[in-house]
Amino acid sequence: MHDRAVTTPEWAGLDAALTAALHPTAPPVAITFGAEPPAGVDPHDGPMPAPLPDGRTGRVPAGCVFWMHAADRTFTTTKADHGNCSVGSLTHGFATLDEVAGNDDVAALVGSGWVSMEDVPQIPVVTERPVAVTYGPLADTPVDPDVVLVRLTAKSLMVLSDAIPGLRVEGKPQCHIVAVAKEQGEVAASVGCMLSRVRTGMPSTETTCAIPAPRLAEVVAAVQATAAIDAEVAAYAAADSRRFAGDGGA
């Protein structure tokens, strides 16, 4: 975990390069796990609803909702802020399976067949329990992040997949790609999950990807090279297609 309150101008440059090459649907988000909240960063100030019978509540319906809020402001969060979603609390290292197994949301997901209790232990999680998780636009992150989260179109995922052969593409739950990036050092995309899509309001046309922050420069270079090749191919295809315009190709 990063505990240094250090402004790193390189993050802004990498943000600009990644955005220019990949055209994400929202500004890339920096996610930082810490042993304490970083100095000078305000906590998320959303209201905390009354707890449900199983004790769950939080600043947002699920931790993935913080991704949406972080597109335009930086804030820090604690375990309590994430507490409404047992799945997100598990993947982000705030809770163990034993601590959330009896919660009503887990029962609903298991009861629907969305996931089985046998599957849950296989879900990647952050192994070191954090005190705080900080979110905000990568371009002006006040701390060195652990993970960079980007929201992508199918076209931008195509570019990323070409840039990173064998790109890991995951399914439900969507939030576990953050743990994959942080713990395993892998770039991991997600097709999303219905739990997250409803809670975040993320459009059906979007996917997500988590990039280990220490690998961001490497990923940006690969994406830039691929985007340049794709631009050349697009120009060829456009020119070739003009032969079929106008009179139906006669």
The CA distance from 149 to 88, in Å, is 15
What digits encode the pLDDT tens for the residues 9-57? 699 999 999 999 999 999 999 999 999 999 999 999 999 999 999 999 9
Determine the pLDDT at residue 245.
87
Which tens digits make up the pLDDT trace of 118-147? 999 999 999 999 999 999 999 999 999 999
CB atoms within 10 A of CB 98: 7
What tens digit of pLDDT does each residue of 142-168 get? 999 999 999 999 999 999 999 999 999
Query: Over pLDDT 70: what percentage of the chain?
Result: 95
Q: Which two tokens stand for residue 40?
A: 């000078």
User: Do 174 and 208 form a contact (C-beta atoms < 8 A)?
Assistant: yes
Give the integer Cα–Cα distance in Å for 232 and 108: 49
Neighbours of 244 (CB within 10 A): 10
Q: How far is CA 82 from the centre of its chain?
A: 15
